[in-house]
Structure 1
């Protein structure tokens, strides 16, 4: 058990680091003006629109676990780069909604392709039963992180 604990810890640290590095490298070829953090913000804005979720600045900030000020700074930069647009809500002029541009959609598609390729690579080596066990284990890991954040 102790050996498994150390090996699993090392694996998680290395995999997390490797995913971030590889994700950054895959992005650099097509969208070198974006950081990974900016890309994840774009992804959140695209997902909010695609899933008809709340795309107000406050909701996006909460989903990204950043302050309103941090989000404002990031969105301003991404607006200047042509990736996001801010618009006042038609019904509630106090609310600001954030929308992706076509340029943002293109970056999000490159990012999504990276994730699809990563998942496909994992799944091709696992049986259905092994994939179910992995999904259950990663679900527990996700719950752990969410619990830590909400605490």
Structure 2
């Protein structure tokens, strides 16, 4: 059994590294070559239409508000994000994506959709349920340790 755990662990580590490498490589080759993979993940966390506060986005990314502020500053300068003042309380500033930000968000989402579709290819519904359970177990473990 220990050997199977090691095989799965090695595969997870390689998959994670490969996903990040491919995302970085594709970003560098694209019209979005001016952003980093960390900025791409910030764009993903900001999301398409949910204007969230910087604190909410920082929490999703496990970043300090200060670190996220620097990232948001760069994304705003590059034209991917914008700060939006609340109508009812002007002190509250929410983060939103610009048209350019939504475009890169959709491109990133399409990559992940293709990846998941490929991952689940040729699996029957019971096998997919097993994978979903395993992923939920992993998520629960990560929540406990974050």
* 1:125 CA drift (Å): 2.7
* 1:82 CA drift (Å): 0.3
* Partner of residue 35, structure 2: 34
* Partner of residue 9, structure 1: 9
Unpaired runs of 5+ residues, structure 1, are none
TM-score by length of 2: 0.93
* Partner of residue 121, structure 1: 118
* 1:60 CA drift (Å): 1.3
* Partner of residue 22, structure 1: 22
Q: Distance in 1 between matches of 2:80 and 2:11?
A: 35
* Partner of residue 44, structure 1: 45
* Partner of residue 86, structure 1: 83
Unpaired runs of 5+ residues, structure 2, are none
Moved beyond 3 Å, runs of 4+: none
CA contact (8 A) 1:42 1:100 kept: yes
